Amino acid sequence: MNSNIKIGADELILWLRKNNKRADDSNIKLGKNIHDLIVDQLDGKLIEGDKPCVWDMNNEEIVNELFLPKTAAQYSLRVDAISRLYTILLEW
């Protein structure tokens, strides 16, 4: 049984934006902070960088530097680390 989950920085940025966390931070800054959190603190692994996101790229109201990214890194993270990930994000 695989005890890892694949999660994208885009999903986490969307969650942060929906929960009014770090609203003034750019997607680039959030992406770097998410990378550092997942790789350095939660022992996750980068599995793919700059993967295109799935939302409507032509909608400039949602796809912009202070809302949602056009591309995002994808990570592999242990399932048991997901709770810790979101606990940390709640504090951002």
Q: How is the chain classified by DSSP, letter by letter? A: ---EEEEEHHHHHHHHHHTT-STTS-HHHHHHHHHIIIIIIS--EEEEEEEEPSS-TT-TTTBSTTSB-SEEEEEEEEGGGHHHHHHHHHT-
Walk along the chain (92 residues) and give the pLDDT tens digit of each residue.
Answer: 569 999 999 999 999 999 999 999 999 999 999 999 999 999 999 999 989 998 877 888 888 888 899 999 999 999 999 999 999 999 99
Q: How many domains in the chain? A: 1
Domain carrying residue 51 = 4-90
